[in-house]
Amino acid sequence: MIGIVNYGAGNIFSLTAALDRVGIDYGMVNNVDDFDQYDRIIIPGVGHAGAAMRKLEETGLVQHIVSLKKPVLGICVGMQLLTSFSEEGNAELLNIVPLKTLHFDKRVGKKVPHMGWNSISPKKDCPLFENITDNSYFYFVHSYFIEADEQYTSAFCTYDVVFSAALQKENFYGVQFHPEKSGKAGEQILLNFSRL
């Protein structure tokens, strides 16, 4: 069963509706004791990583999250929280993946935020992308991006710059797009995560 970290910075309704559609059982993680009830953890998030990190710190869950050994999936800002730093508010984050979250504004000539459907190029060996073809489209809404990195990036996307559409470090996974709003391909990501 999947536990969703409930820290007040995520659109949990869209996520739970998607999990219901594909028949995945879930519950809410509201305190440290709740982690033991679940095999996998999702960290949702919308808005800005700095503000989301402050909310996460207020819950007292940070130290427990960084020490988890079970599969963890960060979605959108939840993925950005896995990195070490965000330019938004010059915020220190969870530092699970040693990459930075950067602002598009300073680096692209296109409209910010990056909003809408875009294709990704997943690495073949990432179990999160099983049965996902190269150039599949996913739904993005973000003004900040995580730099692309050969070691930790598990799927690439381009919006004037190449960035991490997905990350993996050991049991920690992240997706910048919203699988819960990405149709069948997004549902496949959630199913794949539920089977890790």
Residue whose token pair is 């996307």? 157
Which residues are tagged catalytic? Answer: 76, 178, 180
Q: Which residue is it, tokens 């993996």?
A: 168
- Tally of CA atoms within 13 A in the half-sphere of 149 that contains its CB: 16
37, 81, 159, 165, 175 from 147: Cα distances, Å: 34, 13, 12, 10, 13
Rounded Cα gap, residues 74 and 169, in angstroms? 12
**Cβ(145)–Cβ(152) below 8 Å:** no
